[in-house]
A and B are shown apart, each in its own frame.
Chain A
Amino acid sequence: MSLLLNTVLLVFLLVTAFAVMRVKVLLAMVMLFGLYSLLVSSLFVVLDAPDVAFTEAAVGTGISTVLMLATLAAIRHGHSAPIKPGKRALPLALSLAMGALLIFGIQDLPNFGEANSPAYREVAQHYIDKGQQETGVPNLVTAVLASYRGFDTLGEVTVVLTAGIGVLLLLGRREKVHLIARKSNE
């Protein structure tokens, strides 16, 4: 059952990925990206990772689709740059090289679900054995994220805040900048 589900989801994923490449209309592309995220989050559910699936569905399918739609609306009157034919050799070679490099790198990873991989041998055993006892939180993911790895999560939240500040600085109110410039001129 799981194999069938995985196969169907992965085939759909591939079809969506190719459709994203083939589609010419940007709006349809954004929609397909949302669908792609939804399929990935379904895969996470099949892999017994509901917390990650939740995040992927909320961020990938929800927020980022809306942000991309807003961007499309903002650049509606922008100039478009048609891709010149014959300039595809270099991007293709780059993509193939990158893909080959990634596949080469995968060889060093432990096999999928291998019990002896470092991820399962070190602290994970302690989290599983003592997690609920030490933190009193039944959801192990929350216990690890918020308590054992609390410092990492603090870093993540700071990254989110920094990203927000960066976007505000880049795209924030323009008039204010002009106002300040005018004031300093006077």
Chain B
Amino acid sequence: MSESLILRVVTKWLVPVILLFALYVQFHGDYSPGGGFQAGVIFSSGFLLYALVYGVDATTRVLPEAVLRIGACLGVLLYGGVGVVSLIRGGTFLNYSVLAETPVAGQHLGIILIELGVGITVACVMLLLFYTFARNIPPQ
């Protein structure tokens, strides 16, 4: 936790930009470098910066640990769910071509969904790791 006014103000300005950039990397990963994994890490680093400057307790008020635990599992569930849906629709596991009318549209939809699953899981696990590590820091 930092008492420095400059750090506090800059962090407040920087966190939304980092989160926005993470969303850009997440949903623009089809066209430019990036994807779910990178986006998840960047998204979590936004909250990490907040936690470093304002303290972990302030961050857990925004993102409680219970939410992160559910989110971490939800991401994998979304990924596997896409696979199961493609099974139900008559394709093989994780064959996105059957998800929409045309194979290419199905592929696009499937890729966006599973990248979202990857992003959610990675972001939640990274923050969970940080919370767990930070809780073991003895008070000054």
Interface segment among A7-15, A103-111, A113-121, A132-140: the answer is: A132-140
Chain B residues with CB under 8 A of A135: 104, 107-108, 111
Q: Is A160 an interface residue (CB 8 A)?
A: yes
The B contact surface, by secondary structure, is helix
Chain A residues bordering chain B, tally (CB within 8 A): 45
Interface extent on B, as a size class? 35 or more
Chain A residues with CB under 8 A of B111: 135, 137, 142-143, 146-147
Q: Is B98 an interface residue (CB 8 A)?
A: no
Q: Is B24 an interface residue (CB 8 A)?
A: no
Chain B residues with CB under 8 A of A134: 103-104, 107
A residues 53-71 in Cβ contact with B at 8 Å: 53-55, 58-59, 62-63, 66-67, 70-71
Chain B residues with CB under 8 A of A136: 104-105, 107-108
Asked if residues B114 and A63 are in contact (CB atoms below 8 Å), the reply is no
Chain A residues with CB under 8 A of B48: 62-63, 66
A residues 7-54 in Cβ contact with B at 8 Å: 50-51, 53-54
Asked if residues B138 and A77 are in contact (CB atoms below 8 Å), the reply is yes
Q: Is B50 an interface residue (CB 8 A)?
A: no
Chain A residues with CB under 8 A of B80: 154
Chain A residues with CB under 8 A of B110: 146-147, 150
Q: A139-B31, A151-B93 are known contacts. Are A63 and B45 too (CB-CB below 8 A)?
A: yes
Interface segment among A88-96, A161-169, A176-184: the answer is: A161-169
Shortest C-beta distance, B7 to chain A (Å), equals: 15
Shortest C-beta distance, B87 to chain A (Å), equals: 13
Asked if residues B137 and A74 are in contact (CB atoms below 8 Å), the reply is yes
Complex Cα spacing A138 to B29, Å:
9
Besides A137-B31, A141-B35, A142-B30, 11 more A-B contacts (Cβ < 8 Å) are A54-B34, A71-B133, A134-B103, A135-B107, A137-B108, A139-B30, A147-B111, A157-B75, A157-B118, A164-B128, A168-B132
Chain A residues proximal to chain B, CB less than 8 Å: 50-51, 53-55, 58-59, 62-63, 66-67, 70-71, 73-74, 76-77, 134-139, 141-143, 145-147, 150-151, 153-154, 156-158, 160-161, 163-164, 167-168, 171-173
| Top 5 closest pairs, chain A to chain B, by CB | A164-B125, A50-B33, A136-B104, A70-B133, A58-B41
